[in-house]
Structure 1
Amino acid sequence: MHRTLRLIGAASGVGAQDPGCHAGPTALHRAHAFDDLQRRPDLNWGETLFPRQALGGRVAEVADLCQRLAEAVRQARERGETPVVLGGDHSCAIGTWSGVRAASPAPVGLLWLDAHLDSHTPESTHSGALHGMPLACLLGQGDRRLVTVGGPGPKLLPGHVALIGVRSYEPEEREFLDRLGVRVFTIDEVRQRGLPAVFGEARARVRQAPGGYGVSLDLDVFDPREAPGVGSPEPAGLSQTELMPALAGLAGDPALLALEVMEFNPDRDAGGRTAALLARLIGAVFPRRHGA
C-alpha cells in the first residue's frame, strides 16, 4: 500500500530520570544513518516539539507537550499521513496515542514493545518518573492532566493492548495490568515460546480493535549490547535478528496507524549504533516502494 510518512519529533526528557533523551530527535535529524530516510519522497520530516515551562511543574510541562503532540498526530492522520513519532522519553506516548485515538472513529489497539511496563500511577510509583506512567494514563488511570490529553476518558481498551519484551517492573504495575486484563508477554515467555509465536499472538490481539492499531517501541526492548543509546537500559533484551523480521511483517498492513520509537539517548549511543538501528527499524516497518 502507498503511504506518506510524517516524522514528528518529541524532544522531551522531562518525564525521565535521565533527561538525555530530549536530544534524541535533533540528533537523529542530523545523523548520517538517517540520510537515506530523509531522501525518500514518501517521507516528510515535520515539526519537532520541545517542552515549555508551565505552572505546575513537570506534570504540567509533560501535559502541555503531549497535548501539542496529540494535535500534530491527529492532524497528520486526518491528512491521510502515517505518523512516525521519535522521542524523547516514553511519557510522550500519552500524546501520540491520544492523537491517534482522536483521529479514529473507533477504538484503536496498541502493541507496546518495552523492557518495562510503564504502568505506574502517582500512588504506586517508586521513582515519581513520568515515563513510568504513560500506559496507565492511556488506560485512564493517573494524574487528570495527563489522562485528559486529547480529550476525556481512556484512549485504549485493555483488550486491545499487548506488551512484549518486559523484564523489569514493580509488582504494583503488573497487578494493575492483570486486573484490567492487559496481556503481558515477558521476556521469559518470549524465550520459552519464541518471538514469532508471541508476536503473532500479540498482533492478533491488538488488530481486533476496529479502528486499527499502532506500535510503541521503547528502544530498551533491545539488548543494550546492540542498542546502547537508550534512557533506561536493561540486560537480556531482544536482538535485532529476532525483532526486525517481526517488525518487517507489519509492512503493508492497512490497519497499522502509526509508529513511535522512544527513549533514544544520543549521549549513550556509542558509535552511533542505536541511531543506525532506529533507521533500519523504520525502513523495515515502512519499506521504500520500488521505484520511489
Structure 2
Amino acid sequence: MSKRIRIIGAASGVGAQDHGCADGPVAFHRSQAWHELQDDPHIDWGRTLFAPDAAGRSPLERVAEVCRDLADEVAGTLDEGAFPLVIGGDHSIAIGTWSGVARATGAPLGLLWIDAHLDSHTPDTSYSGALHGMPLACLLGRGDKRLLGLGVPGMQLDPRHTVVLGPRSWEPEEAEFLVRLGVRIIGGDEIAARGFAACLDEASRSVAAAGGGFGVTLDLDAIDPALAPGVGSPEPEGLSALDVRRGLRRLAGVPGLRALEIVEYNPDRDRDGRTAHLIADLIGDALPQLTRQPGSSA
C-alpha cells in the first residue's frame, strides 16, 4: 500500500498585514491547477480550517486558536498514518503545523524554513507587529506564551537542526536571535556564490539529522516574484522556481520527512493563475517520493 497524502487547508490571514492569504487555500482548492492534480489516487483534500471570527478577540488570540486547531489536525493525520501537506494561509500558521508534528513524534524536529524572511521577531522586536513575522521564534520557544508549547513542552524545533534557506530581507534582531541558538542561515548571497544545489545538500543533511524527524516549510515569497506573483509579502529577485521544484522533489525522498507546508499564497495578487499552477507543480513533483513506502524501490 502506498502512503496517502492529506492536504489540510489553513485559511488564515490574521497574522499578516495583507489578509488576502486567508483566501489562499480555498482559491487553490477551486483552481484548475488543483482539479488537474486531484485525479492522483494518493492525494485527497481533508479539512480546511478557518481563523475564528474577530468579534471580541485580538489577532493574537485568533492566531493562537487556529494554530491549536491545526496542531490537532496535523497530529491526528500523522497518527492515522497519512502524510500532512498544509496549504496556507499566512506563515503564522506554521506554529500550528510544526507543533502538531512535534506532538505526534514526541520530540523537537529539524526544520528547513525556505523563505525570503527570517520570521523570527517577538512582540518586543517587531517593527510591524505582524504575527507572520514571528512563527519561527515561537517554535524555538520565544514569544507570547499563548503561541508556545502547543505540541511538546519547550521548543518545538531543534535549533541545531533548523536551517533558514533563501532569506534576503530581515532585521538584525532576528538574525542575532537565530545565530545565538545555532540556527543556520543560508542567505541569497551565499546561494549565489555556492549554488542552490550545494546549499540545499548542506541544509538537507542538517535537518534530517534531527532525532524526531524533520519538515519543510516553503513560503512562496522565497521564489522570484516574477515567477510567483501571488504572495503576501513579495521581495525583489529570489529563488528560481525550477530550483525549488527540483529541491522539493529531492527532499521528498529523504528518510524522516514528517510533513510539508506551503504558505502565503495570495490569490488577489496572482496573475493568470501562475502561482496556483506552481503550487500544483511543487506538489506533483514531490508526490512520487512522498507516496513511496519506506523500503520500497523508487
For the aligned pair, the TM-score class normalised by the smaller chain equals over 0.9
Q: What's the CA shift for 1:53?
A: 3.1
Given that residues 108 and 152 in structure 2 are in contact (C-alpha distance below 8 angstroms), is that contact kept between their aligned partners in structure 1?
no
Given that residues 230 and 269 in structure 2 are in contact (C-alpha distance below 8 angstroms), is that contact kept between their aligned partners in structure 1?
yes
Q: Which residue of 1 aligns with 2:295?
A: none
For 1:66-90, what per-residue CA distance to the aligned partner results, in whole angstroms no more than 9, with x for missing partners? 0000000000000011100000000
What letter is aligned with 1:184?
I
Q: How many residues align?
A: 290
For 1:144-192, what per-residue CA distance to the aligned partner results, in whole angstroms no more than 9, with x for missing partners? 0001323531101210100111000001100111111100000110000
What letter is aligned with 2:98?
W
Q: Which residue of 1 aligns with 2:20?
A: 20
What letter is aligned with 1:119?
S
1:5 aligns with 2:10: no
Where structure 1 has 5 or more consecutive residues not aligned to the other structure, the ranges are: none
Q: Which residue of 1 aligns with 2:103?
A: 102
Q: Which residue of 2 aligns with 1:279?
A: 280
Q: Which residue of 2 aligns with 1:33?
A: 33
Q: Normalising to structure 2: TM-score of the pair?
A: 0.94
For 1:192-225, what per-residue CA distance to the aligned partner results, in whole angstroms no more than 9, with x for missing partners? 0000100000010001111211100000000000
2: CA distance, partners of 1:243 / 1:163: 14
What letter is aligned with 1:36?
E
CA RMSD, 1 decimal: 1.5
Task: Tell me the SS of whatever aligns to 1:230.
Answer: coil
My pick for the range that moved more, 167-176 or 251-260, is 251-260
For 1:80-106, what per-residue CA distance to the aligned partner results, in whole angstroms no more than 9, with x for missing partners? 111000000000000000000000033
Given that residues 139 and 155 in structure 2 are in contact (C-alpha distance below 8 angstroms), is that contact kept between their aligned partners in structure 1?
yes
Where structure 2 has 5 or more consecutive residues not aligned to the other structure, the ranges are: 293-298
Given that residues 122 and 142 in structure 1 are in contact (C-alpha distance below 8 angstroms), is that contact kept between their aligned partners in structure 2?
yes
Given that residues 110 and 160 in structure 1 are in contact (C-alpha distance below 8 angstroms), is that contact kept between their aligned partners in structure 2?
yes
Runs of 4+ residues deviating >4 angstroms: none
Q: Which residue of 1 aligns with 2:224?
A: 223
1: CA distance, partners of 2:10 / 2:117: 20
Q: Which residue of 1 aligns with 2:270?
A: 269
Task: Tell me the SS of whatever aligns to 1:253.
Answer: coil
Q: What's the CA shift for 1:56?
A: 4.4
Given that residues 3 and 81 in structure 1 are in contact (C-alpha distance below 8 angstroms), is that contact kept between their aligned partners in structure 2?
yes
2: CA distance, partners of 1:285 / 1:204: 18
Q: Which residue of 1 aligns with 2:199?
A: 198
My pick for the range that moved more, 79-88 or 239-248, is 239-248
Q: What's the CA shift for 1:116?
A: 0.1
What letter is aligned with 1:269?
D
For 1:36-82, what per-residue CA distance to the aligned partner results, in whole angstroms no more than 9, with x for missing partners? 32112111210000011365401000000000000000000000111
Q: Which residue of 1 aligns with 2:68?
A: 67
Q: Normalising to structure 1: TM-score of the pair?
A: 0.96
Given that residues 138 and 155 in structure 1 are in contact (C-alpha distance below 8 angstroms), is that contact kept between their aligned partners in structure 2?
yes
Given that residues 108 and 155 in structure 2 are in contact (C-alpha distance below 8 angstroms), is that contact kept between their aligned partners in structure 1?
no
2: CA distance, partners of 1:232 / 1:32: 24
2: CA distance, partners of 1:254 / 1:207: 7
Q: What's the CA shift for 1:236?
A: 1.2
The percentage of aligned residue pairs carrying the same residue is 56
Task: Tell me the SS of whatever aligns to 1:159.
Answer: strand
1: CA distance, partners of 2:4 / 2:253: 12
Task: Tell me the SS of whatever aligns to 2:157.
Answer: coil
What letter is aligned with 1:37?
L
